[in-house]
Amino acid sequence: MVTTEMEPTNDTPEPRLRRFRPAAQPPTATTGAPRFRLRLSRTDDGRLLVEAEGPPGRAQTVADLPNLVTQAGASDQPDFLRERRTGVLLYNALFAPHILRLLEESRLHAGERPLPIDLTIVDQQLVSLPWELLRDPETDRFLALSERAPLTRIAPPRPTPAPLLPLPAIGTLKVALIAQNLDEAEIALAQAVGVDKRVEVSLAQSGGTLRSNPHVLQISGPSE
């Protein structure tokens, strides 16, 4: 940025140029923001596999999924108590001691900046669990409502569909079996357009045409 500054002198004032170095732009909230990533899947024996990644490094653990039906509380309890209990159960299953240690180190690395938690679930049976209710028992707050470590559920990428096989052109073979003694059929044939009348068309002759290319076989005629 160039600024023109007038400096008074005894003589005729002349404009003098003074160059200023432009100030550095302040960093945005997303520039270099650290994140804490969690990836949930299941092992071959059906246990919960948690893979965590933060600025200090990576960690993983295998845990048993809680039975939310029996452990979240009786059905006659208030909904808020059941939801809070559910969130704590899922939190304890997700944040094993070394996963929790990595989270704390990531928070120290973030300093005063927020540390968003990205939760990616790749197992279809785990998708149905209410992970949005994750609740830190130390702060007694839902992670989704946290300002320092807000929880975001990331949708897994969709698999690329297999390309469709090209289908050959489909022709149409129409075979009409009509008795000669039906007056209405004779009138219909007389009014039809583009009728190819064949006498004594055998099934073998029709089969040869059908085998040469894909066709749709339409048969019309009396039921007897």
Q: How confident is the model at residue 213 (pLDDT cuts 50, 70, 90)?
A: low
As a whole number, the mean pLDDT across the chain is 73
Separation of first and last alpha carbons in the chain: 97
Q: Is residue 19 part of a domain?
A: no
Q: What is the pLDDT of residue 4?
A: 42
Query: What average pLDDT does this structure show over 132-155?
Result: 88
Q: What is the pLDDT of residue 188?
A: 58
Q: Is residue 165 part of a domain?
A: no
- Tell how strand 135-136 and strand 141-142 pair up: antiparallel
E-strand ranges in 86-206 read 117-121, 135-136, 141-142, 151-154, 171-176
In a shared domain, residues 149 and 176: no
pTM for the structure as a whole:
0.54
In a shared domain, residues 114 and 68: yes
In a shared domain, residues 211 and 101: no
User: What is the per-residue pLDDT across 44-77, written as a single tens digit (0 to 9) for each?
Assistant: 999 999 999 999 999 999 999 888 877 776 666 7
User: What is the per-residue pLDDT across 168-196, written as a single tens digit (0 to 9) for each?
Assistant: 555 555 555 444 555 555 655 565 555 55
Q: Is residue 88 part of a domain?
A: yes
Q: Is residue 30 part of a domain?
A: no
Q: Is residue 8 part of a domain?
A: no
